[in-house]
Amino acid sequence: VNEEAVSFSQYPRPADTPQVNSDLPDLKDIKVMGYSLRSWDYRYTLWLGFDPKTFQVNVSDIHAGELYMLADDPGEDNNVYTAFDHSVIKKNMAILP
Amino acid sequence: AEMKNVLFIVADDLRTSLGCYGDPVVKSPNIDHLASKSQVFLNAYAQQAVCAPSRTSMLTSRRPDTTRLYDFKSYWRVHSGNYTTIPQYFKSKGYFTVSVGKVFHPGIASNHTDDYPYSWSIPAYHPPSFRYEKEKMCKGEDGKLHANLLCAVNVTEQPGGTLPDLESTDEAVRLLKSRVNNDDPFFLAVGFHKPHIPFRIPQEYLSLYPIEQMKLAPDPDVPKHLPPVAYNPWTDVRKRDDVQKLNISFPYGPIPKDFQLRIRQHYYAAVSYMDAQVGRLLSTLDALGLADNTVVVFTSDHGWSLGEHGEWAKYSNFDVTTRVPLIFFVPGVTTFLDWQGPSTFPFIDVLTQPEYSFQNGKVGKNVVELVDVFPTLSSIAGLGTPQSCPDVSFQEELCAEGRNLANTFRYGERG
């Protein structure tokens, strides 16, 4: 009963800044993978270094982060990632499937 | 108990812009009516907000890191593992399985065969008029034809006097009629192409959304603290002729406000057009006496940004692109047949009856995922649920990375 239902989504990017193939990079061009963990009250995303040859994610290579507290910010407009202590949620992310 | 048929309906790029999800603008009476007799999951999320990866993940119950499909250019059986699909599993249990329209993503991602014969009993049907979808079919102000984003048409002037989703619905209706007297249960998957761009839709649906009543997204600006890597520059939208003419700066735009309103108007009109096809399909199911032993699933592959965060299209991790409708109609579970009254699914013509409203059936608020559809649907159909996958499951042909949600239909949610 204490389980918290969460969903995991992800999106690939070829670079840290928008470019023409940012929307749909070919596998060989993927450099960053954005992993999102979404629960009923927050959405937490880490954009991590990704190797398309080995399909390995480098969890210590954090390119950017997002954190939206949905009760006050249902539209996900106010990213509070930089203002947050991430030890707890990163532990959650460590259970990434 | 007797094996239930399955009607599996997938819309393309449909966000939760439906009446049954609380959207105040859209008119979607047929889907809302389905929801009033169903289990509605209010917080369902796709695993990746782009067509092929999301569809392959949903239909195999494997996440993108297991299918290793992040673009459109690989077929999971060759590229990562011989994972069993939902229709393949039903086929192995004696179901006649058939695909109409866009269920798997066509092309390389489904081996140019929509994964036939593994998943389907007969080759998949694709509407012939879809070949014109990216052609210059849209009459511009200059009277010439263009490949526009906004493409409301007089259907009689289109090639063949039809559109892809009209053809898909005709084919699905034909297939339902052919199954009435057949004892084998069927698994019919119908994939509508709308509201995916271009908005090539019957022009009459625009009249439901007068432009003067349209509003911009509540948060149309790129958020201050949004990391650049997170932003989707909506390249596919930019490529359409009418958008190119606007000379919008890359990557952040913005699109001129009047054109933003027109995009939103066309998206909603495309949803109402697709809703009408769902209504035709469900009313046929009912008229053939199949509604009381057919499970109906309605979902989409991912959402679509309508200007929120200064973004359009999918390609991101925002809720507006990952959150999807997920509705299960299970006769005898989500609704009881003696409650039905004269008919279970009457066709509701939104063009003549735009002001319909409904009360949802049972709703689920807990967060769920599209990878949950496979184990849940298998359980509802009484076929037994695939095992949960181990952490690394590349060698496992049949397992599910999603959860079985069927118990929430009867006993409500916990947690």
pLDDT at B116 over 80: yes
Q: What is the model's pLDDT at position B339? A: 54
Contact criterion met (CB below 8 Å) for B265 and B206: yes
Evaluate if residue B342 carries a pLDDT over 80. no
Q: Are B79 and B100 in contact (CB under 8 A)?
A: no
Distance of residue A57 Cα from the nearest chain B Cα, in angstroms: 10
Contacts of B218 in chain A (CB under 8 A): 75
CA distances A17 to A63, B254, B308, Å, are 11, 17, 19
Q: Is the ipTM of this complex over 0.85?
A: yes
Distance of alpha carbon A80 from alpha carbon A67, whole angstroms: 5
Q: Which residues of B touch A14 (CB under 8 A)?
A: none
Distance of alpha carbon A16 from alpha carbon B344, whole angstroms: 51
pLDDT at A95: 52
pLDDT at position A1: 53
In this prediction, residue B3 has a pLDDT band, given cuts at 50, 70 and 90, of: confident
> Do residues B409 and B379 lie in contact, with contact meaning Cβ atoms separated by under 8 Å?
no
Q: Would you call B230 an interface residue with chain A, using a CB distance cutoff of 8 Å?
A: yes
- For β-strands B199-202 and B150-153, DSSP reports them as parallel
Query: Quick check: A23 and B315 CB within 8 A?
Result: yes
- Residues B46, A9: C-beta atoms closer than 8 Å: yes
Is the per-residue pLDDT at B291 higher than 80?
A: yes
Q: Which residues pair with B369 in a beta bridge?
A: B45
Nearest CA in chain A to B65: A55
- Find the CB nearest A9 among B45, B72, B251: B45
Please give the single-letter amino acid code of residue B294. T
How do beta strands B362-364 and B39-45 pair?
parallel
Instruction: Measure A27 CA to nearest chain B CA, in Å.
Output: 6
What proportions of chain B, in percent to the nearest 5, are helix, strand and coil? Answer: 35, 15, 50
**CA–CA gap between residue B106 and residue B116 (Å, rounded):** 11
**Quick one: pLDDT at residue B337?**
58
> What's chain A's Rg over C-alpha atoms?
14
Instruction: Check CB contact under 8 Å for A79 and B368.
Output: no
Which of A12, A30, A43 comes nearest B319 by C-beta? Answer: A43
Closest-CA residue of chain B to A36: B317
SS3 B29: helix
Q: If you average pLDDT over residues B65-88, what whole number do you get?
A: 98
Q: B347-361 pLDDT, tens per residue?
A: 999 999 877 778 888
Task: Cite the DSSP H helix spans in B49-163.
Answer: 51-60, 64-67, 76-79, 86-92
- Average pLDDT, integer, range B362-388: 96
Average predicted confidence (pLDDT) for chain B? 95
pLDDT number for residue B277: 98
Report the pLDDT value the prediction gives residue B356, as an integer from 0 to 100. Answer: 77
Gap from A13 CA to chain B (nearest CA, Å): 7
Predicted pLDDT of residue A88: 60
- Is residue B117 reached through a cis peptide bond, with omega within 30 degrees of 0 on the bond before it? yes
Question: pLDDT at position B254, please?
Answer: 98
User: Any chain A CB within 8 A of the CB of B412?
Assistant: no
Nearest CA in chain A to B221: A77
B190-196 average pLDDT score: 98
- Please give the average per-residue pLDDT across B228-248, as a whole number: 98
Q: What is the spatial distance between Cα B10 and Cα B337, in angstroms, rounded to a whole number?
A: 25
Per-residue pLDDT in tens (0 to 9) along chain A, 97 residues: 566 799 999 999 999 999 999 999 999 999 999 999 999 999 999 999 999 999 999 999 999 999 999 999 999 999 999 877 666 666 555 555 5
Burial of B5 (0-12, 13-18, 19+ CB in 10 A): buried
Burial B285-318 (b: 16+ CB within 10 A, else e): bbbeebbeebbbbbbbbbbbbbbbbbbbbbbbbb
Compute CA distances B322 → B72, B105, B312, whole Å.
Answer: 18, 17, 13
d(CA B86, CA B60): 6
B316 or B409, greater pLDDT: B316
- B314-343: average pLDDT: 88
pLDDT exceeds 60 at position B1: no
pLDDT of the residue at A58: 97
pLDDT of residue B411: 72
Residue of chain B minimizing CA distance to A31: B229
**Position B33 pLDDT exceeds 90:** yes
B48 CB-near residues (< 8 Å, 6+ apart): A9, A10, A11, B54, B57, B64, B70, B302
* B117, amino acid identity: P
Could you give the 3-state DSSP secondary structure of residue B150? strand
Lowest mean pLDDT among A52-61, B272-281, B338-347: B338-347
